[in-house]
Amino acid sequence: MEEKLLSFSPVLPEKPKVLILGSMPGGMSLTKSEYYGNPRNHFWAIMFELFHEQPTRDYEEKIKLIKRNGIALWDTIGSCYRKGSLDASIRDEETNDIEGLLRGNPSIKLIACNGTKSYQTFTKNFPVEKRTNVNVVKMPSTSPIPGRYTKTFEGKVEEWSKILDYL
């Protein structure tokens, strides 16, 4: 029998301005208990590029980087069943309490969904009328799956730079 997967608790700085939502951590991330724990995932490299900081492998330093810059991290899906790490394999998903997080953090003005699954899950479960004063954008996935996403690293950095307007 498949094991039910649980996402992580949110990473919340004081007065976050941007909330980045993934879908559900991949297998390697779950094993390491780290957001974007697959070293091939572009997420952390993009963040270091955006903030002109030297990359590090130290997870605590990565978390300090985003907190220092007013970014919160979480996932749209709180629990699900999934074979492997592909979003397409997710089933029986239950969403996280994003409404509650937004109520408790009114300083958030932008939700940046990391990829299609995150965006689709968010917009399906949190319709526009529930999102006053918060903009929502779909960002290119930072996933390391080769051949699946056509944007170059530089193209992803350019797209992700939109979050800087809210910080």
List the catalytic residues.
41
**DSSP states of the chain as a string?**
-PPPEE-PPPB--SS-SEEEEESS--HHHHHHT-TT-STT-SHHHHHHHHTT----S-HHHHHHHHHHTTEEEEESEEEEE-SSS-GGG-EEEEE--HHHHHHH-TT--EEEEESHHHHHHHHHHS-GGG-TT-EEEEEPP----TTT----HHHHHHHHGGGGGG-
Measured CA to CA in angstroms, residue 95 lies from 26, 80, 104, 109, 166 at distances of 16, 9, 17, 20, 25
Q: How far is CA 82 from the centre of its chain?
A: 18
